[in-house]
């Protein structure tokens, strides 16, 4: 059975926007779910952009008649031995398949590509951008992008100014800040940036930075950073984005602090623009007009109580 024209076109466009070669070896990107069902909705050429596929996002996609979801985070990371309705998140995928909705996930490839999420985060703080902060650039992909970004300031700016820019440009009411006692003047000449959880990228930097700016870090990563003379900025919950969703998940060994998706969600309008441009440039005669919309149900899973 051949892929639908829409599914093939979106997959091709997303591979141009976020080349798979840039994805981490640990990641699971690409076409995650391909529905064999033909969507008969009048809005069948609708594509929904989201950070995560939650039950609420699934409901929204089905109600809107979408045929495709581009979910930044892949709904499947590791091999599954079964897909059942008893697991709520697996159930969302089964419901998508039954409704004729396919799913593509770009994740870390979209982080690292030039013009991707990490580069977008540099615009939130200003300064001069250095593309490479880590040693993990692949020889076959160096011209496309790489892990993380490093921003420098000359003259230095204060932590207060840096924090203010991040809160303003990410629409956050608060962020979490770890001040290093090793640098009591709190002046910043360099910032290492990584969307999501940046600990593994920061650990392989080829030169240090005054600040690590990311979504979340483990408790021990934070302790090690501030002890070594690095301030830490993690994106706490925004009152604007804050809603409560219940997830079926298991905790891993480390508890994480911060607001992982608050470094990612604001990029979705940029992704929508890029995807529209790619589809227009491809000009598939049989595709027709594609309606690309950003999910209104997608939100950070935690709130303050």
Q: What domain range is 125 assigned to?
A: 110-234
Among 185, 215, 234, which residue terminates a domain? Answer: 234
Region for 298 from its dihedrals, namely left if φ exceeds 0, alpha if ψ lies in -120 to 50, beta otherwise: beta
Do residue 66 and residue 154 come from a single domain? no
Question: 257 or 119: whose pLDDT is higher?
Answer: 119
What percent of the chain is modeled with pLDDT above 70?
84
Would 248 be classed as within a structural domain? no
Say whether 231 counts as a known binding-site residue: no
Residue closest to 30 by CA, chosen among 95, 92, 102, 135: 102
| Average pLDDT for the chain | 85
Which band of pLDDT confidence, cut at 50, 70 and 90, is reported for residue 66? very high
Do residue 225 and residue 275 come from a single domain? no
Q: Is 50 exceeded by the pLDDT of residue 240?
A: no
Tell me the per-residue pLDDT of 183-194, one tens digit each, with 9 for 90 and over. Answer: 999 999 999 999
* C-alpha distance across the termini of the chain, in Å: 49
Query: 155: cis peptide before it, omega within 30°?
Result: yes
The region of weakest confidence among 12-16, 174-178, 264-268, 298-302 is 298-302
Do residue 181 and residue 290 come from a single domain? no
Average pLDDT on 213-241 reads 84
Would 247 be classed as within a structural domain? no
Would 10 be classed as within a structural domain? yes
The count of domains in the chain is: 2
CATH number where 39 lies: 3.40.1390.30
Q: Is 50 exceeded by the pLDDT of residue 49?
A: yes
Would 253 be classed as within a structural domain? no
Do residue 229 and residue 130 come from a single domain? yes
Strands 231-234 and 176-178: antiparallel
Say whether 147 counts as a known binding-site residue: no
Would 203 be classed as within a structural domain? yes
Q: Is 90 exceeded by the pLDDT of residue 203?
A: no
Do residue 227 and residue 127 come from a single domain? yes
pTM reported for the whole predicted model: 0.87
b (16+ CB within 10 A) / e for 183-207: beebebebbbbbbbbbbebbeebee
| Location of structure tokens 């935690």 | 302
Tell me the per-residue pLDDT of 80-126, one tens digit each, with 9 for 90 and over. Answer: 889 999 998 899 999 999 999 999 999 999 999 999 999 999 999 98
Do residue 119 and residue 220 come from a single domain? yes
Would 95 be classed as within a structural domain? yes
Do residue 117 and residue 175 come from a single domain? yes
Do residue 135 and residue 172 come from a single domain? yes
Among 213, 234, 255, which residue terminates a domain? Answer: 234
Would 224 be classed as within a structural domain? yes
The pLDDT value recorded for residue 263 is 78
Q: Which two tokens stand for residue 32?
A: 């995650």
Q: Which two tokens stand for residue 5?
A: 């024209």
Among 184, 214, 234, which residue terminates a domain? Answer: 234
Do residue 159 and residue 196 come from a single domain? yes
DSSP states of the chain = -PPPHHHHHHHHHHHHHS-GGGS-TT---EEEE---SPP-STTTTEEEEES---HHHHHHHHHHT-SEEEESS-S--S--S---TTSHHHHHHHHHHHTT-EEEE-THHHHHBTTSHHHHHHHTT-SEEES--BS---TTTTTTB-S-EEEEEEEEEEHHHHHHHHHHHTT-S--EEE--TT-TT-EEEEEEEEEEE-HHHHTTBSS--SEEEEEEEEHHHHHHHHHTT-EEEE----TTT-----------SS-EEE-GGGGTGGGHHHHHHHHHHHHHHH--TTT---EEEE-SS---S----
Do residue 102 and residue 119 come from a single domain? no
Do residue 124 and residue 228 come from a single domain? yes
- Round to whole Å and give the CA distance between 206 and 213: 16
Do residue 131 and residue 225 come from a single domain? yes
Average pLDDT on 156-161 reads 96
Would 206 be classed as within a structural domain? yes
């Amino acid at each position: 059975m051949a892929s639908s024209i829409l599914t093939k076109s979106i997959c091709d466009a997303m591979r141009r926007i976020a080349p798979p070669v840039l994805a981490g070896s640990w990641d699971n990107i690409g076409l995650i779910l391909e529905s064999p069902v033909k969507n008969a909705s009048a809005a069948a050429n609708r594509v929904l952009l989201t950070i995560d596929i939650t039950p609420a996002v699934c409901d929204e996609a089905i109600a809107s008649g979408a045929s495709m979801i581009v979910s930044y985070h892949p709904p499947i990371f590791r091999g599954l031995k079964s897909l059942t309705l008893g697991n709520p998140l697996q159930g969302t995928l089964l419901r998508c398949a039954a409704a004729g909705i396919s799913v593509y996930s770009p994740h870390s490839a979209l982080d690292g590509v030039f013009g991707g999420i990490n580069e977008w985060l540099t615009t939130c703080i200003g300064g001069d951008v250095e593309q490479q902060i880590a040693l993990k650039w692949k020889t076959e992909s160096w011209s496309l992008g790489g892990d993380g970004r490093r921003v420098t300031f000359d003259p230095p700016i204060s932590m207060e100014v840096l924090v203010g820019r991040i809160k303003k440009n990410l629409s956050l009411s608060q962020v979490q800040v770890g001040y290093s006692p090793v640098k009591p003047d709190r002046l910043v000449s360099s910032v290492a940036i990584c969307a999501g959880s940046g600990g593994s990228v920061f650990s392989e930097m080829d030169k240090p930075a005054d600040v690590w700016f990311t979504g979340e870090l483990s408790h021990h990563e934070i302790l090690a950073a501030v002890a070594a003379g690095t301030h830490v900025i993690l994106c706490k919950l925004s009152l604007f984005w804050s809603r409560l969703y219940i997830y079926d998940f298991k905790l891993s060994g480390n508890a994480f602090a911060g607001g992982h998706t608050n470094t990612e969600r604001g990029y979705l309008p940029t992704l929508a623009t890029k995807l529209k441009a790619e589809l227009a440039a491809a000009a598939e005669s049989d595709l027709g007009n594609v309606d690309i919309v950003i999910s209104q149900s997608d939100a950070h899973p935690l709130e303050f109580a």
